[in-house]
Amino acid sequence: IFRRELEGAAREGGLFQLVMHPFVIGYRSRIWILERLIEDAREMGGAWFGTHLEVARWVRGNKG
């Protein structure tokens, strides 16, 4: 599901903002999902990994 969201955002030139709650991802057996998603984003090229604050500042500075 996360990868499809990432691909959709990339296709549309949009923002992919991942929110992961500990009760969903907070298990050793699931951390590979996040690792793979990061690898996929890097392989797509052009990915920027910013904090929420950095994203907010970018949006404020790039209003049409």
For 28, what's the count of Cα atoms within 13 Å in the CB-facing half-sphere?
Answer: 0
Confidence grade of residue 12 (pLDDT, cut at 50, 70, 90) = very high
Residue that the structure tokens 């992919």 belong to: 16
* In contact, 52 and 33? CB cutoff 8 Å: no
pLDDT digits (tens, 9 = 90+) for 29-64: 888 888 999 999 999 998 999 998 999 999 899 876
Question: What angle separates helix 31-44 from helix 2-12, to the nearest 10 degrees?
Answer: 20
